[in-house]
Amino acid sequence: MNCDDVTKRLAEGAPLDAAAQAHAAECPACQLLLQPVEDVETLNEERLAAIRDRVVTASKPVKPLPSDPALIALLTTALLAFTFLVAHMVKMRALEALAPVQMVIYFSLILGCAIAGAIIVVGEMIPGSRLRSGGRMWMVASAVILPLTCIIIFRSYSTIHFVSRGIPCFELGSVSALGAGVLLSLFLRKGFLGFRKSAARAAGFLAALAGVAVLALHCPYLSVTHIVTWHFGVLLAGWLVGDLIGRRLEPR
Amino acid sequence: MSRPLRLDVDRLQLLMTRYQGGDGEAAAELVNTLSPQMFQFFLAQVRSRSDAEDLLQDLWLRIHNARPTYRPGEPLLPWVYTIAHRVRIDAYRRGRRVTQHEFKDESAMAFAAASSKQPEPENNVSELLNGLPESQREVLLLMKVSGLTLEETARATGSTVGAVKQKAHRAYEKLRKLLVAN
């Protein structure tokens, strides 16, 4: 046992075993590292009293937010309802073009990504939540898995009317994502955003997933190039807009 | 007079739940119990009593507004420290904006003042913490002063357990070097 072992144990927050304690007893530097940090400065009593009075005066009963699973279910249901409403308004023409297997794979994957996104967004709303970890992983995984799945399940690579068919899809996806974003921002207002940039990115990406879902229900062009470029382009746009909003929310 | 900063977490959680229910006495006790530790947390980072007191006031304002996001039974300290982390970041950004304007005039004076002072040997961990970079100091304060676990520290700082472990390791190594140097 040497100083490095003690440092390692301290950094891991692990209790010191007998050997480490024996080393620390003989090593002055380790003894100092183990020394507790104490409250050397006391808080001004008047200031503390002023804070206390403000808190006590304003103290009114509040209802804690529902549990994480309830919030996740609520958010997913709200986004699903929004997606089906928009898709119903613009007509679900993709349902006629998709084969049952394609439908099951494509829609369940989008739903899976959306549920994962709802978990991350709920984690962003609750200070100190363990749910928020993995936000980046979720975005990267969704942005990779969705196009890869399209390459596997759709056979056509047609680029006929690539731009003229693509732009209306991108517009519809973006407008739908915008609507979902408004819905999400109302939801997020109920929480406390400790990490605004990552929260805004996650919300932007999730809103864009709602836009992708609308396109998946509406667009009958099953060309891989069309879907990857114009449908999943909405995901990139959602992430970028979320990032921009996140930066704006940070004090400058 | 010094006193240990470790808190009775079960009692704190109970007080927070009662505070959510509108209990003024619980709110007062919670402010009294948590404030010294939070003040110390801010003071170790801003190094000015009045700034630390301002941050503490801001923290309680935000805790008050965010109190519906606390769920009874959940650990309270990671929840509070996430909000404190946010308060500190916002203050730092606001301060940086102000400092950028003042920097040109004051930097020369500050440099001259710092150069004229002879550094005094320090062998107290609390004082040596000031020699650490901010992120390392924060991690060490959360773990060593507040008694948060690695996971709770990661949750409070929006980081991963691995990153926290690495920062803590670097911080302890640097502290050791400073101790040996002194």
Residue A247 has pLDDT above 80, yes or no: yes
Q: Is the pLDDT of residue B100 over 80?
A: no
What are the pLDDT digits (tens) for A135-180? 889 999 999 999 999 999 998 998 899 999 999 999 999 999 999 9
Q: Say if the Cβ atoms of B141 and A37 lie within 8 Å.
A: yes
Bigger pLDDT: B16 vs A29: B16
**Lowest-confidence segment of A49-53, A66-70, A104-108, A156-160 by average pLDDT:** A156-160
C-alpha B77 chain-centroid distance = 12
Q: Which of A12, A60, A250 sits opposite B22 (nearest CB)?
A: A60
What are the tens digits of pLDDT across the range B135-144? 888 898 888 8
Q: Is the pLDDT of residue B80 over 50?
A: yes
Beta carbons of A62 and B79 less than 8 Å apart? no
Check if the beta carbon of residue A184 is closer than 8 Å to that of residue A74: no
Rounded to two decimals, what is the model's pTM?
0.83
Lowest mean pLDDT among A36-45, A147-156, B112-121: B112-121
Angle at B134 between CA B133 and CA B139, to 5 degrees: 105
Chain B nearest CA to A113, separation (Å): 22
Helices (H), chain B: 9-20, 24-46, 49-66, 76-116, 125-128, 134-140, 150-157, 161-181
Vertex B166 angle, CA B163 and B172, to 5°: 140
Interface test with B, best of A32, A35, A53 (most B CBs within 10 A): A32
Let me know: does A198 contact A135? Beta carbons within 8 Å. yes
- Which residues sit opposite A223 in a β-bridge? A156
Confidence of residue A220 (pLDDT cuts 50, 70, 90): very high
Instruction: Specify the amino acid at residue A236.
Output: L
**Mutation choice for B interface testing from A8, A59, A133 by most B CBs within 10 A:** A59
**Which of A5-19, A110-124, B112-126 is predicted least confidently?**
B112-126
pLDDT over threshold 70, residue A209: yes
ipTM of the assembly?
Answer: 0.82
Q: What is the residue-averaged pLDDT of chain A?
A: 91
Binned at pLDDT 50, 70 and 90, residue B116 comes out as very low
CB contacts under 8 A, A 43-102 vs B, are 43-44, 47-48, 50-52, 54-56, 58-65, 67
Tens of pLDDT along A176-194?
999 999 999 999 999 988 8
Closest Cα partner for B9 from B30, B24, B28?
B30
Residue A100 is predicted with a pLDDT of 95
Q: How far apart are CA B44 and CA B113, in angstroms?
A: 22
Query: In A, which residues are within 8 Å of B144 by CB distance?
Result: 36-37
**Residue A231 backbone phi and psi in degrees, to 5:** -75, -50
Q: How far apart are CA A250 and CA A189, in angstroms?
A: 16
- Testing the interface with A: which of B18, B31, B41, B127 to mutate, by most A Cβ within 10 A? B31
Please report the pLDDT score of residue A140 as a whole number.
94
CB contact under 8 A, A251 and B93: yes
Task: Kindly list the distances between the CA atom of residue B7 and the CA atoms of A104, B3, B33, B129, B140, in Å, as whole numbers in the listed order.
Answer: 52, 11, 8, 21, 17
Tell whether the model's pLDDT for residue B113 goes beyond 60: no
Q: What pLDDT was estimated at residue A41?
A: 72
Q: Token pair 């929004």 is at which residue? A: A82
Pairs across A and B, CB distance < 8 A: 177
Kindly state the tokens that stand for B166: 């690495």
With CA atoms as reference, the chain B residue closest to A9 would be B169
